[in-house]
Amino acid sequence: MTPPEPDLNPLAVLVLLATAAGISPQIAAALGAYGLIVFAWFAGLLVGLWRLPPTLRIRLAGFAAVSCIVTLGVTVPAANLLARHMPLLDAQGAIFAIAVAIPAVGHSWLDVGAWFASFLRRRAEGGLPPTDQGGGR
């Protein structure tokens, strides 16, 4: 009698590693699937970048690296900040939208920053009504 062959597909390995780390099997299955998706996306991104002309490849690789680092560092704090100031918004529900928005805005972040600075300036000068809606007191 021969022992059964182990299942070594990438998803099964990721789920096994997550379960071994103490994560419940249900959560490990979800994490394994999404981990595999992100890994596959990154592998495809690298292949796509490699196929580009060298000058464009360097610019896009830099953009991908910077947007990944900023997205990883800013998404959760931004979601928590928004949830704190917008009671109807759930922080976990905002994570996906913020993670998509950061790289999607791309090189226009300077324009967004200029708009926000202008907004704060107008607010400080009294050009915008206060956002406190405490109810006609």
Dihedral (CA of 87, 93, 95, 101) sign: negative
For residue 57, give both structure tokens.
């490849």
Q: What are the 10-residue block averages of pLDDT along the chain, 137 residues in total?
A: 74 83 86 74 75 83 84 86 86 79 83 90 76 51
Tell me what pLDDT residue 137 has.
42
Select from 102, 100, 82 the least CA-distant residue to 92. Answer: 82
CA distance 7 to 130: 60
Tell me what pLDDT residue 16 has.
85
For residue 34, give both structure tokens.
């999404």
CA distance 68 to 62: 10
Model-level pTM? 0.53
User: Counting Cβ atoms within 10 Å, is residue 32 exposed (0-12), middle (13-18) or buried (19+)?
Assistant: buried
